[in-house]
């Protein structure tokens, strides 16, 4: 049986976090101090201060979606007291973030007082969050993020297609599943487009990859046929297309319901593709902003990345790495290559683990305190 916390919006969370969210770079250290002083709370850090105007829209869109994630009982927003923060919080409320407590430096008059007030509020809210009881939830409550990082030659034949089995089973029961990383479907986009629920959705998948390629080729770079990262090469991958064919298998065989821009929330259940960079942490941040409530992250090289907002399940593509990094890996799909499990059996095991983690079982990333967060930019860096 699946259990969770139903929010006022009708969405479901599988964690009941109190999030400390700084709305400016200079308050990130305070957020971490509050997290340390209020055990059980979670905090994120980021470097948003002053950005080019075009990047600002992307940052506001991303940050405003995070407080609306259904895994949050409440968000404590640390702010300076500026008009742009008013805009961000209004956007968050429009996206369904109903539980936000604002604590402003302009009101508190000092960073020390800001920290002390936030700690007091966090401790009180944590008690309220702990008092909430899980209730039975439908499988359709699951919004699953599909992620891979540190891919190797086993990724496309073990963990990724096994995750695809689990994703298909969830989507068939009314859940939502989101594949991302535009760079990592390069060369496989035509295969995904054939699975689109309508021709228009198919064209959108092709258009996303075309737009990405144009953003690279104007620099004189021909990315098709290029080599993947050094770690991918050491893991046995030869080209980006080979990597893409394996990465796409995380999405199973279901039809694609739609295409999402970075950090956009899906409007209805189904399988989606989200246009994100290939950077693992930027993708997880987009998932958190989009309302994803649980993520499965397949890895062939071992990746410690986690999220403050979503439980992140790590699945190894090979037994050697799973054995070497037991503090990072939740499950081994290398058994498929070892011949001790079938693809379907391993996929069913991933499905069952998703349910267990949704019901409260902690992931290795949660136990290890891996709470990475990074804001994606298109046009420039902070000034």
Residue partners of 289: CB distance under 8 A and separation at least 6 = 61, 62, 63, 64, 65, 66, 69, 263
Could you give the count of Cα atoms lying within 13 Å of 293 in the half-sphere of its Cβ?
32
The pairs formed by 50-55 with CB atoms below 8 angstroms and a separation of 24 or more are 50/382, 50/383, 51/377, 51/380, 51/381, 51/382, 51/383, 52/379, 52/380, 54/378, 54/379, 55/377, 55/378, 55/379, 55/380
- Distance (Å, whole) CA 67 – CA 92: 6
Asked if 175 and 143 touch (Cβ cutoff 8 Å), the reply is: yes
Please give the model's pTM, rounded to 2 decimal places.
0.92
* Per-residue model confidence as pLDDT tens digits over 237-271: 455 555 566 678 999 999 999 999 999 999 999 99
* Per-residue model confidence as pLDDT tens digits over 319-376: 999 999 999 999 999 999 999 999 999 999 999 999 999 999 999 999 999 999 988 8
* Per-residue model confidence as pLDDT tens digits over 11-62: 999 999 999 999 999 999 999 999 999 999 999 998 877 656 778 889 999 9
267, two tokens: 């409007």
Asked if 303 and 366 touch (Cβ cutoff 8 Å), the reply is: no
């Amino acid at each position: 049986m699946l259990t969770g916390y139903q929010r006022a919006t009708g969405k479901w969370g599988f964690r009941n976090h109190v999030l400390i969210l700084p709305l400016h770079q200079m308050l990130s250290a305070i957020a971490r101090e509050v997290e340390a002083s209020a055990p059980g709370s979670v905090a994120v850090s980021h470097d948003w201060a002053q950005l080019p105007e075009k990047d600002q829209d992307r940052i506001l869109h991303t940050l405003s979606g995070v407080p609306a994630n259904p895994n949050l009982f409440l968000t404590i927003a640390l702010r300076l007291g500026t008009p742009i923060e008013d805009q961000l919080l209004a956007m968050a409320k429009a996206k369904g973030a109903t539980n936000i407590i604002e604590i402003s430096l302009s009101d508190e008059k000092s960073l020390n007082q800001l920290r002390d007030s936030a700690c007091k509020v966090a401790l009180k809210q944590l008690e309220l969050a702990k008092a909430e009881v899980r209730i039975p939830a439908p499988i359709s409550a699951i919004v699953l993020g599909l992620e891979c990082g540190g891919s190797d030659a086993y990724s496309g034949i073990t963990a990724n297609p096994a995750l695809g089995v689990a994703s298909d089973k969830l989507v068939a029961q009314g859940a939502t599943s989101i594949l991302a990383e535009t760079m990592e479907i390069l060369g496989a986009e035509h295969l995904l487009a054939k699975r689109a629920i309508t021709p228009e959705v198919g064209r959108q998948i092709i258009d996303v990859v075309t737009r990405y390629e144009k953003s690279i080729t104007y620099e004189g770079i021909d990315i098709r046929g290029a080599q993947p990262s050094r770690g991918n090469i050491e893991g046995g991958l030869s080209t980006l297309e080979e990597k893409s064919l394996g990465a796409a298998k995380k999405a199973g065989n279901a039809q694609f319901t739609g295409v999402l821009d970075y950090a956009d929330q899906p409007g209805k259940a189904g399988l989606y593709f989200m246009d994100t960079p290939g950077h693992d942490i930027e993708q997880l941040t987009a998932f958190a902003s989009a309302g994803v409530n649980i993520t499965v992250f397949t890895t062939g090289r071992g990746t410690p990345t986690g999220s403050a907002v979503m439980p992140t399940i790590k699945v190894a593509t090979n037994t050697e790495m799973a054995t070497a990094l037991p503090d990072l890996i939740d499950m081994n799909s290398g058994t498929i290559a070892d011949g001790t499990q079938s693809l379907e059996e391993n996929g069913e095991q991933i499905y069952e683990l998703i349910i267990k983690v949704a019901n409260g079982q902690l992931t290795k990333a949660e136990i290890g305190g891996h709470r990475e967060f990074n804001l994606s930019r298109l046009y420039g860096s902070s000034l």
